[in-house]
Amino acid sequence: MTQLTRPSTQLTLAGAHTVLHAAMEKADAMGIPMCITIVDTAGHMVAYARMDGAKTMSELSSRAKAETAASSRAQTGSVTPGVDIKLGLVTGGKLTNLNAGVPIEVGGEVIGAVGVGSGTGEEDLEVALAGIAAFQAALTETAPA
Q: Could you say which residues in the range 95-114 bind its own copies, by CB under 8 A?
A: 95-98, 106, 111
Nearer to its own copies, 54 or 129 (CB): 54
- Listed in sequence order, the residues at least 6 apart from 80 whose beta carbon sits closer than 8 Å to its beta carbon are none
Specify whether the CB–CB gap between 104 and 19 falls below 8 A: yes
- What dihedral do alpha carbons 87, 92, 98, 100 form, nearest 10°? -120
Looking at 23, 88, 114, 124, which residue binds its own copies (CB under 8 A)?
88
Looking at 31, 92, 108, 122, which residue binds its own copies (CB under 8 A)?
92
Pairing of strands 45-50, 101-106: unpaired
Looking at 1, 108, 122, 145, which residue binds its own copies (CB under 8 A)?
1
Q: What part of residues 23-82 is at the interface with its own copies (CB under 8 A)?
A: 40-52, 55-61, 64-65, 67-68, 70-73, 81-82
Least separation in angstroms between residue 79's CB and its own copies is 10
- Listed in sequence order, the residues at least 6 apart from 105 whose beta carbon sits closer than 8 Å to its beta carbon are 111
